[in-house]
Structure 1
Amino acid sequence: MSTVTFEIVDSYIGVIKLNRPEAANAFSRQLLADFHDVLELVEQKDDLRAVVITSEGEKAFCAGADLKERRTMTQDEVVDTVNEIGRVVTRVDDLKVPTIAAINGAAFGGGLELALACDIRVASNNAKMGLTETSLAIIPGAGGTQRLARLIGLAKAKYYILTAKRFDSLEGREIGLIEEVVSLDELSNKALDIAVQIASNGPVGVKIAKQAINVGFDHDLQTGLKIEKDCYMHTIPTEDRLEALQAFKEKRKPNFKGK
């Protein structure tokens, strides 16, 4: 059985699920290979409008690297595995379709880095998380030092990474890392509700908006505004834009087709 599964729900929404609950859904070599296979499928499905990333079980979203497996590795193998985690996380970050991390338990190290690569994060009220690598005499190696600072600010990122502090989902919401905190029983529905809300909007507009935000973020305001304008122009000739205007005129819900 695959350690990462993928299914499509509600026609336009995909769900990626890590499936090693017996090992806290940690990043083994097999899981990383399976994750790449799933991402290949996601990247090929042009009709997807949102993707939820979550895990099997009620205790762990992803505990990060599989430390039991890592103890048997040479230094070169460790480096290769860390790089592979980074490649998976970056592929998630680079998906054109919006992504929602549904954090259903512990998310430490690479597990939290995976969540950081998603566009939106929701968490169960039992979730614990942290970039705890410095407590193991290493540093976050799959984008954590960069993505956390961009999400919560430089000083807070230094605080959490340098102390290796573990924190709960409520604290995560307070610092701007988590958008919604719900009970574990409600988490799946909450993530899917957000995905449905995104999927009900114009697919081209949503993807272009994500692109404009991501590309413009690291530039000064004037450059960012130019990027926004260029992105906006891609929405003008679409059938969906005309459908939205027609639906408004007819006082009905638009029927977007992603064209």
Structure 2
Amino acid sequence: MTGPISLALDDGVATVTIDRPESLNALNSAALDALLDALDEAEEREARVLVLTGAGETAFAAGADIEEMADFSTPEAHAYASLGHDVTRAIETFPAPAIAAINGYALGGGLELALACDLRVASERAVLGQTETDLGIVPGWGGTQRLPRLVGDETARRLVYFGDRVDAQDAHELGLVGDVVANDELDGHVAALASDLAARPRFALAAAKEAITQSHETDLAAGLDFERRTWASLFGTHDQREGMAAFLEERDPAFE
């Protein structure tokens, strides 16, 4: 793919790169549309892992494109928010683990993209923030919902209300990211994580992702029922038979 988004697929790992370094990878409508296309293509090509990152040395994604949205009417703003929600929901429901490789600024909508991923790895240079109140608005692509689920209610309120920017280490302490690595080690660290995930049973990981996501969207009883049905549905699959046979035979499994 060419344009504001690039897609590369290697050994089951789909790497989607926001490629607007001249604007700190700000997300305009064209970039959001292209992101949706890239996610669709990665799914069609049966990617086993999704990696999302930004081009250049400075930014993962510095947020929504302020130049584009500054003069929006309310209906235009609603359409733009809906497009952002479509993208974050597509990441959240992608049928494989999604890793955000945060190589620089992840602010506003950029952080919201990262929040939609399953795992977040930050370079030591990364700066993260839900900074929309600085612009007289609020998070519009899921930040008010996903951030409290990740870091807790009061921490989320402080981040949103004050628009604080936090460095990678503080983000790790808050629970915003799972790993912080040296800048020159980010690609290798994420590649190793992705490779390990790609070698694991594909359908089991997809089912685990969907079940965990359900825990944020439904009550406990419904979530437990979903888990029980999902667990049972994996019996009879190649990976279940192979995984258990390998365990009993004390050998490494050969998953599909």
Is 1:116–2:115 an aligned residue pair?
A: yes
Q: What residue in structure 2 maps to residue 23 of structure 1? A: 23
Is 1:6–2:40 an aligned residue pair?
A: no
Q: What residue in structure 1 maps to residue 232 of structure 2? A: 233
Q: What residue in structure 1 maps to residue 193 of structure 2? A: 194
* Residue-by-residue CA offset, 1:168-210 (whole Å, 9 max, x unaligned): 1111110111000001111111112111121222111111111
2:225 and 2:76 mapped to 1: Cα distance?
44
Q: What residue in structure 1 maps to residue 179 of structure 2? A: 180
TM-score (norm 2): 0.94
Q: Which moved more, 1:32-41 or 1:124-133?
A: 32-41
CA contact (8 A) 1:216 1:228 kept: no
Q: What residue in structure 1 maps to residue 39 of structure 2? A: 39
Q: Give the match's secondary structure for 1:129.
A: strand
Q: How does 1:202-217 map to 2 (within 5 A)?
A: 202-217=201-216
Q: Give the match's secondary structure for 1:148.
A: helix
2:51 and 2:193 mapped to 1: Cα distance?
9
Q: What residue in structure 2 maps to residue 149 of structure 1? A: 148
CA contact (8 A) 1:58 1:184 kept: no
Distance apart, 1:100 and its partner CA: 0.3
Q: How does 1:11-90 map to 2 (within 5 A)?
A: 11-46=11-46, 48-71=47-70, 73-90=72-89
2:42 and 2:207 mapped to 1: Cα distance?
18
* Unmatched tracts of structure 1, length 5 or more: none
Distance apart, 1:74 and its partner CA: 4.3
* Unmatched tracts of structure 2, length 5 or more: none
* Residue-by-residue CA offset, 1:13-40 (whole Å, 9 max, x unaligned): 1111110011100011221121121112
1:213 and 1:195 mapped to 2: Cα distance?
19
Judged with a 3 Å threshold, the aligned counterparts in structure 2 of structure 1 residues 138 and 228 are, in CA distance, closer, same or farther, namely: same
Structure 1 consecutive aligned stretches of length 4 or more whose deviation exceeds 6 Å:
none
Q: Give the match's secondary structure for 2:32.
A: helix
Percent identity of the aligned residues?
A: 37
Q: What residue in structure 2 maps to residue 169 of structure 1? A: 168
The CA RMSD over aligned residues, in Å, is: 1.5
Aligned letter for 1:13? V
CA contact (8 A) 1:125 1:182 kept: yes
Distance apart, 1:103 and its partner CA: 0.4
1:78 and 1:223 mapped to 2: Cα distance?
34
Q: Give the match's secondary structure for 1:134.
A: helix
Q: What residue in structure 2 maps to residue 102 of structure 1? A: 101
Q: Give the match's secondary structure for 1:167.
A: strand
Q: Give the match's secondary structure for 2:79.
A: helix
Is 1:135–2:134 an aligned residue pair?
A: yes
* Residue-by-residue CA offset, 1:18-72 (whole Å, 9 max, x unaligned): 10011100011221121121112022233x2111100111100001111122235
CA contact (8 A) 2:149 2:216 kept: no
CA contact (8 A) 2:16 2:51 kept: yes
1:133 and 1:170 mapped to 2: Cα distance?
22
CA contact (8 A) 1:27 1:85 kept: no
